[in-house]
């Protein structure tokens, strides 16, 4: 036992620090505790005063505080090595929240490179960023919001810290824009802008895209041109920005920027994920063209547009039917009977893997599932544009085509909803999915998909109800205000 001066372990003497074991004993002034108790018992026996029947066992005092890190914190070290870890390696509560943020919001490449990951550049950009930059403020806002009900090292609740950092990120972004500071279109500032938007969607429950954010992303893309395509460390962030901007544009049927088209023309579309990006761009362009085509336009122009849309959709159906491997989407065929589709849907059915309403998910990888949902949502938008072009026609074949497209939209909407259990970590090939990296990213992808469904004119009402319930399920528990 420790005698406060010459402890048997001698760790504190070697490290020239106060003995942590003895700290819990000093106030009771126990020295050689076992020896004291042994001497007391011997004395009582010698005086004949010990009576076992009338004495209760001594109450143990509070256990000494153990400052040795747990095996969960440093699982690769044995007990002796853990006891030697200096206090300087212990992270603050704020740093732990930031570490957790990177675990929940970053996806690294997997599936032998088929899945390129999501925001994998964030840790590097954060570590190299200035203390008061947009990116650092945005990362800390996201990290603290995820721990909103807990207190930081200074006793301030994390929800307050999150809102303060969010406000600071917005203010810093405004300063960069209005002051014309150099490097406005750098990778870190773009990543910070995307995270500000993520924060608003997930923690402020914003229900729509913000025009100012869309304009800022356009500015970033036009300023940098195609340069990020040739920079390995930049490409991932800029690809994410392109996808975000395309999502805005498809919802409102807005034409893509010339710089976006230039990007897609340089992609190697033999890769499935890049082929999907190319398809989405072409669907975006045709949706925008259909929006500006009115009933008074030249019928030949209208027929040519209808034919272009039909050709693209036929090409997409042919390609998706032939794709193999992990990229092949698991989905319900549009020719299956309606009895196999959802009839009545509720949130509990979607989240229950054993539910009779379940259909196969679109993949077993978060990024792949997101990309297919983006592709499905773009198809829904294009097919609705086609239906609007055909609506004024009195031809029987056009009426039949409208009904066919309506049923395809129903199936595509069902495919998106069927992916929610996997993205919400309620189902998967193993229990590991419940603890998977990127859980928050997956939930964010669900929110993006829901916006597409809610803005669709022909998505069935029961699907929209489920989308609304899932959206509330995802965002209500995380809302700061």
The reply to whether 243 and 329 lie within a common domain is no
Residues 6+ apart with CB under 8 A from 449: 370, 373, 374, 377, 416, 419, 420, 467
**Coil, helix or strand for 164?**
helix
Residue 478 counted as domain residue: yes
Kindly report the number of other CB atoms within 10 A of residue 351's CB atom.
Answer: 16
- What does DSSP assign to residue 327? G
Residue 374 counted as domain residue: yes
Structural domain ending residue among the three candidates 220, 254, 288: 254
Write out the two tokens for 344: 């009545």
What is the model's pLDDT at position 358?
38
What is the model's pLDDT at position 392?
75
The reply to whether 248 and 105 lie within a common domain is yes
How far is residue 111 from each of residues 115, 139, 416, measured CA to CA in Å?
6, 27, 22
The reply to whether 283 and 241 lie within a common domain is no
Smallest CA-to-CA distance from 363 within 328, 411, 402, 394 is with 328
Structural domain total, the chain: 3
Residue 69 counted as domain residue: no
The reply to whether 323 and 471 lie within a common domain is yes
Smallest CA-to-CA distance from 270 within 412, 114, 388 is with 114
Q: Can you give the pLDDT of all 481 residues of the chain as single tens digits? A: 455 555 556 655 555 555 554 444 444 444 444 445 544 555 555 555 444 444 444 444 444 445 556 666 777 888 888 777 666 567 889 999 999 999 999 988 876 666 788 899 999 999 999 988 999 999 999 999 999 999 999 999 999 999 999 999 999 998 888 876 656 678 999 999 999 999 999 999 887 677 778 888 988 888 888 888 888 888 999 999 999 999 999 999 999 999 899 989 999 988 888 999 999 999 999 999 999 986 667 788 899 999 999 999 999 999 988 887 777 766 543 333 333 333 444 445 444 444 433 333 445 688 888 999 999 999 999 999 999 999 877 677 888 899 999 999 999 999 999 888 888 875 544 444 444 678 899 999 999 999 889 989 999 998 999 999 998 888 887 888 7
What is the model's pLDDT at position 434?
40
The reply to whether 357 and 394 lie within a common domain is yes
The reply to whether 310 and 240 lie within a common domain is no
Alpha-carbon distance 411 to 378, whole Å?
A: 14
Residues 6+ apart with CB under 8 A from 361: 330, 369, 418, 419, 421, 422, 427
Residue 233: half-sphere exposure toward Cβ, Cα within 13 Å = 7
The reply to whether 393 and 302 lie within a common domain is yes
Write out the two tokens for 155: 């006793």
The reply to whether 305 and 240 lie within a common domain is no
Residue 137: half-sphere exposure toward Cβ, Cα within 13 Å = 19
The reply to whether 326 and 371 lie within a common domain is yes
What is the model's pLDDT at position 224?
84
The reply to whether 339 and 439 lie within a common domain is yes
Residue 60 counted as domain residue: no
The reply to whether 471 and 348 lie within a common domain is yes
Residue 469 counted as domain residue: yes
What is the model's pLDDT at position 210?
73
**Parent domain of 111:** 93-254
What is the model's pLDDT at position 334?
36
Structural domain ending residue among the three candidates 197, 230, 254: 254
- What does DSSP assign to residue 90? S
Structural domain ending residue among the three candidates 233, 254, 275: 254
The reply to whether 330 and 246 lie within a common domain is no
Residue 75 counted as domain residue: no
Smallest CA-to-CA distance from 362 within 434, 310, 412, 313 is with 412
Residue 65 counted as domain residue: no
**Coil, helix or strand for 110?**
strand
Alpha-carbon distance 348 to 473, whole Å?
A: 11
**Coil, helix or strand for 151?**
strand
Alpha-carbon distance 275 to 371, whole Å?
A: 11
Residue 80 counted as domain residue: no
């Amino acid at each position: 036992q420790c005698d406060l001066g010459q402890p048997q372990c001698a760790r504190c003497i070697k490290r020239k620090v106060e003995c942590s074991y003895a700290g819990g004993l000093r106030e009771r002034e126990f020295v050689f505790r076992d020896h004291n108790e042994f001497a007391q018992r011997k004395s009582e026996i010698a005086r004949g005063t010990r009576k076992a029947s009338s004495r209760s066992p001594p109450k143990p005092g509070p256990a000494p505080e153990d400052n040795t890190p747990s095996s969960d914190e440093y699982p690769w070290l044995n007990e002796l090595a853990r006891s030697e870890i200096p206090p300087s390696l212990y992270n603050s509560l704020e740093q732990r929240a930031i570490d957790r943020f990177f675990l929940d919001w970053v996806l690294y490449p997997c599936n032998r490179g088929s899945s390129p990951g999501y925001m994998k550049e964030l840790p590097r950009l954060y570590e190299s960023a200035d203390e008061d930059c947009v990116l650092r403020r945005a990362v800390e806002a996201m990290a603290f919001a995820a721990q909103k009900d807990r207190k930081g090292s200074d006793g301030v609740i994390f929800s307050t810290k999150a809102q303060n950092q969010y406000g600071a990120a917005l203010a810093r972004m405004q300063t960069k824009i209005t002051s014309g500071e150099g490097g406005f279109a750098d990778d870190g500032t773009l990543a910070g802008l995307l995270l500000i938007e993520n924060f608003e969607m997930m923690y402020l429950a914003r229900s729509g895209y913000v025009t100012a954010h869309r304009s800022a992303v356009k500015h970033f893309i036009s300023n940098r041109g195609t340069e990020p395509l040739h920079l390995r460390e930049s490409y991932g962030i800029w690809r994410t920005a392109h996808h975000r901007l395309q999502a805005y544009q498809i919802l409102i049927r807005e034409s893509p920027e010339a710089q976006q088209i230039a990007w897609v023309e340089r992609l190697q579309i033999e890769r499935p994920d890049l082929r999907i990006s190319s398809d989405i761009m072409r669907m975006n362009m045709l949706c925008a063209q259909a929006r500006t085509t009115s009933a008074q336009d030249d019928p030949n122009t209208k027929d040519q547009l209808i034919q272009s849309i039909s050709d693209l959709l036929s090409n997409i159906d042919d390609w998706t039917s032939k794709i193999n491997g992990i990229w092949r989407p698991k989905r319900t065929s549009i020719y299956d009977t309606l009895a196999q589709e959802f009839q009545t849907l509720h949130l509990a059915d979607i989240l229950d893997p054993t539910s009779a309403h379940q259909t196969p998910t679109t993949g077993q990888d978060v990024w792949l599932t997101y990309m297919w949902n983006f592709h499905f949502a773009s198809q829904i938008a294009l097919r609705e544009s086609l239906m609007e072009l055909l609506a004024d026609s009195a031809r029987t074949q056009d009426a039949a085509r409208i009904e066919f497209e309506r049923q395809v939209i129903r199936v595509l909407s069902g495919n998106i909803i069927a992916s929610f259990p996997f993205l919400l970590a309620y189902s998967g090939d193993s229990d590991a999915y419940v603890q998977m990296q990127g859980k928050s990213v997956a939930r964010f992808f669900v929110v993006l998909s829901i916006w597409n469904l809610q803005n669709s004119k022909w998505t069935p009402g029961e699907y929209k109800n489920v989308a609304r319930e899932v959206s509330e399920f995802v965002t209500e528990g995380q809302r700061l205000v």
